[in-house]
Amino acid sequence: MDDKSRESIRKAFSDYYRQRYLDAEEKAKSSAIFTKVMYGHKWTDRLLRNAITKCYPHWLKRKVSNIAYAGRPQINWLPLVEARGPGQVFPQEGRELAESRALVI
């Protein structure tokens, strides 16, 4: 990137923002809630912590984990890592795919 103006930097990160920012923001919020429940000192936090650790079924834990870990973004210029786990991985949206979609629309 030769031009280091504000507009060119904004344009360079527009793909990232469109593809990943909302997901990253949602993960940060859920992480904050999980941390509050797991390490909180209020009686409601203790009650929720006991319910999650003792009464939460394992099949539901796996299902929630598979949904949470399905979006694994990778760098565009490296080859994609093969899916070796039981969960399904969301497709990676690269620059070529975004450009082809822009041409179709």
Q: What is the predicted pLDDT for the residue at 43?
A: 93
Average pLDDT across the chain, whole number: 78
**Token digits for 103?**
């041409």
Whether 19 and 73 have beta carbons less than 8 Å apart is answered as yes
The answer on pLDDT for 97 being more than 80 is no
Alpha carbon 88 to its chain's center: 14
Q: Is residue 84 part of a domain?
A: no
Domain enclosing residue 54, as ranges: 13-72
The answer on pLDDT for 100 being more than 70 is no
Q: What is the predicted pLDDT for the residue at 44?
A: 92
Q: What is the percent of the chain where pLDDT is above 90?
A: 11
Global pTM? 0.55
Q: What is the predicted pLDDT for the residue at 81?
A: 74
Q: Is residue 47 part of a domain?
A: yes
Count how many domains the chain has.
1
Q: Is residue 40 part of a domain?
A: yes
